[in-house]
Amino acid sequence: MMGKLKQLPLCAGILVSLLTVSGALDSLAANQTLKDGSTIVSADDGFELGFFSLNSSNDRYLGIWSKRISPRTYMWVSNAGNPINNTYGVLKLSNDGRLLLLSGGDTLIWASGFANSGIFNPVAQILDTGNLVVRDDQENIIWQSNPSYDVCVRSGICGPNGICNNNNSPLCGCLRGFEPTLLEAWRIADWSGGCQKKQSLDCVSDGFRKFSGINLPDTRSSWYNVNMTLDECRATCIRNCSCTAYATRNIQSGCLLWFGDLQDMREIDGGRDLYVKMTTADLAADLSNESKNKKVIIVIVSTSVSFLVVCLILALYAWRKKKRSFTSRKGKPAQTLEEDYTNESQKEPAELPSFSLAKITNSTNNFSINNKLGQDEVNSVLLDWPCRAHIIHGIARGLLYLHHDSRLRIIHRDLKAGNILLDRDMNPKISDFGLARRFRGQEDEANTNKVVGTLGYISPEYAANGHFSIKSDVFSFGVLLLEIVSGKKNRGFSHQDHKDNLLGHAWRLYKAGKSLELLAATLSDSCVDSEVLRTIHIGLLCVQDHVEDRPTMSSVVLMLGNDGPLPPPKQPAFFTEMTHAEHDTIPLMVSPPSIDCVTITLLDGR
């Protein structure tokens, strides 16, 4: 018995070592942790993930840095705006695929994406590109730290004389007149061998081929002269048999000469001109190709002009024929819509059927509300509580993506029921981005003299002062949430006992402990009381009068997804419904929705 007890510390030590990541690994499995002081390193030993401090500060951050660049350069930082003030930080990968940065074991500092119960056996891994990714058991990437990482910045990725372009597939290529040195390796994306000239230089009759849009090669083995002109630079390179390329040192003057292989070239917009030494045979092929290209251009242009002339003639003929037909029909007695449709249908099948107003009126019982599709006798949309809760969660995740997870931060500014589209599975899609504003970096607010939006959904600071931020969308979301729960519109809401709007009515019921009375009558049989009460509570938090009292969408998503305690709400903004005269005092310019709207499909963590 004592022998077995002595083995317990050893087993516990082995278990702890399995659950704690050492510096030699490049990945993190579900429920494994990375503690402050430990790191994980990419397979090629180029990038490292761990905790660090800046200068002499005691604040701790979690980030990724390059091990090959000195001084240390950070590629990504998770908690730049929320540092940890101790060395007890822990990074943990949860079972639902989220990376959780914790302080002291239980205080959440940062989280990636949002919970997804459909994720199994997630793994977090730092790639050779410096990108931290989370994959599911099907190897699908469900989140990544830097999806737009520039792979071409890696030194020597395309080898000698190779050229890199992030927009190409494969990533690396050879300059015209060059070919892969190791063709078989090149085919399996091993570009380290680079490229070589198809024909060797003879240093007698060589010339130069111009390549434009180039980020110039590595200059550590180059020679330069600040006073030479471009012609002098060319003459110097042609006289030196070891010279392989030249370019201007600055945009218009100076000379750069390269000797030997060209390293770290890449194609970029607005790049420089690079002149690479080639054989006479290569340059002669250029002249032949130019001649062929001119002939092809002439043929294409002449064919296009002929086609346009024919199209114009046909269009003119059709227009004149239509004009004669219209003229010949003048003077005929007018027909009813039904008669005209009957006559046309006898000639040829109609693409779309038409009906007279009398038929439509008779078929709908004079447009009775009881015949309106999607509604029952009490004028309530036929969606049960689980479906409405699903819609609320989907809208929240969509706003979280726009505010935090998108490459450019987006404030919608016109979130309302009319701008939420539902697919056949009742998944919500946020649409109509005609009034949206984009922000770069850490920007998340702005001011405007022209307030646009929809009455009933706009926040008080936006309506009064033209100040909008991500918290303006949070306010609109809160209004929309209460509308979905109650089945009533905030704008124009009325109650027999008071003149409060929907927000004020919800607040009255909350103070009286009767929040369940806000729920639409048709939902009582399909709902869970605790879920409804929590949803209404969150809605009231979102419509607070002061910006600082409203939660962010990341907090809203967390509150909707767990049963933790919630802060008490204060009296909401726009407590009572304003009269028409009061509406006139607000400098609001309500703009119509944009015609060219965009629908964003909600995505999981990137």
Q: For residue range 57-84, what is the model confidence (pLDDT) as tens digits? A: 889 999 998 887 767 778 889 998 899 9
pLDDT band at residue 337 using 50, 70 and 90 as cut-offs: very low
137 pLDDT above the threshold of 80: yes
Residue 553 and residue 403 in contact, taking contact as beta carbons nearer than 8 Å: yes
- List the catalytic residue out of 282, 414, 432, 473: 414
Region 522-526: mean pLDDT is 85
Q: What is the mean pLDDT of the chain?
A: 81
Domain boundaries along the sequence of the chain: 19-144, 162-283, 385-584
Say if CB 460 and CB 443 are below 8 A apart: no
Tell me the mean pLDDT in the region 177-198.
87
Q: Where are the strands (E) in 194-254, listed by range?
A: 195-197, 207-215, 222-225, 243-247
The residues, any chain, with a CB within 8 Å of residue 314's CB and separated by 6 or more, are none
Low-confidence winner among 146-155, 235-244, 492-501, 568-577 (lowest mean pLDDT): 146-155
| Token representation of residue 304 | 């296009």
Distance CA 11, CA 472 (A): 54
Band of residue 535 on the pLDDT scale cut at 50, 70, 90:
very high
Give, to the nearest 10 degrees, the angle between helix 385-400 and helix 553-561: 150
**Letter for the amino acid at 171?**
L
Among left, alpha and beta (phi > 0; psi -120 to 50; other), residue 445 is: beta
Distance CA 51, CA 379 (A): 57
Who wins on pLDDT, 136 or 146?
136
Strand (E) positions, 67-104?
A: 74-77, 89-93, 99-103
Indicate whether 329 pLDDT > 90.
Answer: no
Distance CA 473, CA 416 (A): 10
Q: Domain 19-144 sits in which CATH superfamily? A: Bulb-type lectin domain (2.90.10.10)
Cα(136)–Cα(341) distance, integer angstroms = 58
Q: In terms of pLDDT, which residue wins out, 61 or 360?
A: 61
Alpha-carbon distance of 291 to 285, in angstroms, equals 10
Strands 162-164 vs 265-267: parallel, antiparallel or unpaired: parallel
Compute the distance between CA of residue 544 and CA of residue 184 in angstroms, rounded to an integer: 64
Backbone phi, psi, residue 95, to 5°: -65, -25
Q: Which candidate, 343, 339, 366, places its Cα nearest to that of 355?
A: 339
Sign of torsion over alpha carbons 84, 86, 92, 96: negative
Is 190 noted as a catalytic residue in this protein? no
Domains 162-283 and 385-584 share a fold: no
Task: Return the pLDDT at 575.
Answer: 62
pLDDT greater than 90 at residue 372: no
Across the range 200-220, mean pLDDT stands at 88
Among 173-182, 433-442, 451-460, which is the least confidently predicted range?
A: 433-442
What pLDDT score does 291 carry?
62
What secondary structure letter does DSSP report for 128? Answer: T
198 burial level (CB within 10 Å; 0-12, 13-18, 19+): middle
Q: pLDDT (tens digit, 9 = 90+) per residue, 2-22?
A: 444 444 444 444 344 444 444
The model scores a pTM over 0.75: no
Pick 158 or 444 by higher pLDDT. 158
Question: For the residues 182-201, what does the mean pLDDT come to?
Answer: 85
Q: Does the pLDDT of residue 151 top 80, yes or no?
A: no
Strand order in the sheet with 141-144: 27-29, 123-126, 132-135, 141-144
Q: Is it true that domain 162-283 has CATH number 3.50.4.10?
A: yes
| pLDDT average, residue stretch 372-381 | 53
From 198-212, 238-252, 570-584, 591-605, the region with the lowest mean pLDDT: 591-605
Is 182 within 8 Å of 164 (Cβ atoms)? no
Is 75:149 a contact under the CB 8 Å cutoff?
Answer: yes
Quote the Cα angle for 61-63-67, to 5°. Answer: 125
Q: Do residues 572 and 543 lie in contact, with contact meaning Cβ atoms separated by under 8 Å?
A: yes
Q: Region 513-529: what's the mean pLDDT? A: 89
Measured in degrees and rounded to the nearest 5, phi and psi for residue 565 equal -65, 150
Task: Give the residue-averaged pLDDT of 416-440.
Answer: 89
Q: Do 540 and 569 meet the contact criterion of CB atoms below 8 Å apart?
A: yes
Residues 268-311 have pLDDT tens digits of: 888 889 999 998 888 887 766 666 677 778 888 888 998 999 99
Percentage of the chain surpassing pLDDT 90?
41
DSSP string, 363-378: HTTTT-GGG-TTB-TT
Q: Is the pLDDT of residue 246 over 60?
A: yes
State residue 353's pLDDT score: 65
Class at the top of the CATH hierarchy for domain 385-584? mainly alpha
CA pair distance 275, 258, nearest whole angstrom: 10
- Give me the mean pLDDT over the 27-42 stretch: 93
Place of tokens 């630079």: 233
pLDDT at 17: 41
What average pLDDT does the segment 314-337 reach? 67
More confident residue, 181 or 282: 181
**Which residue, among 276, 281, 176, 263, has the nearest Cα to 234 in the 3D structure?**
276
**CB-based contact 137:170 (threshold 8 Å):** no
Q: Could you tell me the pLDDT band of residue 108, with boundaries at 50, 70 and 90?
A: very high
Count other Cβ atoms within 10 Å, centred on residue 299: 10
Identify the CA nearest to 551 among candidates 400, 364, 445, 369: 400
pLDDT of residue 192: 87
Question: Is 405 in a helix, a strand, or coil?
Answer: helix
pLDDT at residue 450 tops 80: no
Q: What is the dihedral of CA 193, 198, 203, 204, to 10 degrees?
A: 180
What is the arithmetic mean of pLDDT over 483-503? 86
SS (H, E, C) 21-70: CCCCCCEEECCCEEECCCCEECCCCCEEEEEECCCCCCCEEEEEEECCCC
Helix (H, G, I), strand (E, B) or coil at 276: strand
